[in-house]
Amino acid sequence: MTETRLRTYTHFTAYILAALFIISLAAQNLRYGFYELFYLASTLVVLTAGGAIYTLLCRRHQLRAPGHLVILSLLNIALMAALVTLERTDVSYWCLPALVLNVLVLPLRQGVALSLALCAALALYVFTQLALPDALLIMASALILLSTAAFYIWHYNHMAQSAEDLAITDPVTGAHNARFLDETLQKEISRAIVTGHCLSVIKLGLDYMDEVRNLHGEDGQQALTREVTQQLFEVIRAGDTLYALDNGEFFLILPFTPEEGLRVIAERIRRTLGEHRWPVVGRLTVSLGCTTRVSSDTRYDALRDRAHEALQEAMKRGHDSIWFSHGAAR
């Protein structure tokens, strides 16, 4: 299940449960003739039902749907106004579900801020209208409920971010993995088309990796790959992205980089890695296949395949070399 779909289900369920709870309150207050509370409940039902409808209408954009903030702000304002004007202690208990609804639907910081504002209004009311033990009980319940809900949402966001990082990160090197390469490369191509800026890529292969594996085993190869990754992170610029592929190969995406800059960066990488003293093999050479996007390159596979062909050509012409492949512009 995608994050967008999960949030859609969560938001819709939260709104519906809140609406059902408030409907039960409205029916009970109407039965006993508490018409002010009935009208308040009816207003809250309209807002929560509107939130559920908005969730369905924006189900493809739940990660950035600003309407939730408007809906929940109106709901909290209605509760705050009711606390001031109705002078009924029952309303203080209605605030408790709203505290949970805020943090379930809104981004955590917005939800906590809105809930704290409601808590401030609630505290002002209960400490001026109720006996101290009752006021302390209500406020303790509100703060415990808000803290629990906020901690749960924070924990979920943390776990979701960790899972996303694991999905796009190579566990051996810490660089981005091949699964994330095509998506990012296509985004960079689209941005280059819109902005008109240059885009270059490099596919880098460590020379003699089969010999390294035979001599030092899988652990030695992984240790060398990790060391190379850390060195590459120090060489590339801010904004460049590094991807670890199989068998000692790497891919670099260099936005805003013309062919002249690509040649300088490729040579700097080759010399830096070649002059470094490595703990496993001592000296290391690399081959690099380089290419720059031309106007006909609208898909990621064109750049990726051309960089691969350039790397193969560099290896054919001898190790410790760089080969540039020029695309056919149309």
Residue 176: strand pairing partners: 169, 243
pLDDT value of position 115: 93
pLDDT band at 330 (very low <50, low <70, confident <90, very high): very low
pLDDT value of position 25: 85
pLDDT value of position 184: 87
pLDDT band at 93 (very low <50, low <70, confident <90, very high): confident
Q: Can you tell me the distance from the alpha carbon of 105 to that of 20, in angstroms, rounded to the nearest whole number?
A: 17
Q: What would the two tokens of residue 87 be?
A: 């002078």
Reference 120, options 102, 95, 144; nearest CA is: 95
Query: Percent of the chain, pLDDT > 90?
Result: 40
* Interval 99-130: pLDDT, tens: 999 999 998 899 999 999 999 999 988 898 88
* Interval 265-313: pLDDT, tens: 999 999 999 888 887 788 889 999 999 999 888 888 889 999 999 999 9
Please state the φ and ψ torsions of residue 324, each to the nearest 5 degrees: -105, 130
Please state the φ and ψ torsions of residue 94, each to the nearest 5 degrees: -70, -20
- Domain 176-326 adopts which CATH fold? Alpha-Beta Plaits (3.30.70)
Cβ-in-10-Å burial (0-12, 13-18, 19+) of 159 comes to exposed
pLDDT band at 167 (very low <50, low <70, confident <90, very high): low
pLDDT value of position 217: 84
Specify the residue for token string 């309209």: 46
Long-range contacts at 139-143 (CB < 8 A, ≥ 24 apart): 141/96, 142/95, 142/96, 142/99, 143/119
Residues contacting 52, CB < 8 A, separation 6+? 12, 15, 16, 19
pLDDT value of position 247: 80
Query: Percent of the chain, pLDDT > 70?
Result: 93
Q: For residue 170, is pLDDT > 70?
A: no
Residues contacting 105, CB < 8 A, separation 6+? 10, 11, 14, 15, 51, 68, 72, 111
Helix (H) or strand (E) holding 97: helix 90-105
Write the DSSP symbol of residue 295.
Answer: T
Q: For residue 169, is pLDDT > 70?
A: no
SS3 297: coil
pLDDT value of position 1: 52
* Interval 197-251: pLDDT, tens: 999 999 999 988 888 888 888 888 888 888 888 889 888 888 898 888 888 889 9
DSSP string, 187-256: HHHHHHHHH---EEEEEEEETTHHHHHHHHHHHHHHHHHHHHHHHHHHHSPTT-EEEE-STTEEEEEEET
Write the DSSP symbol of residue 65.
Answer: -
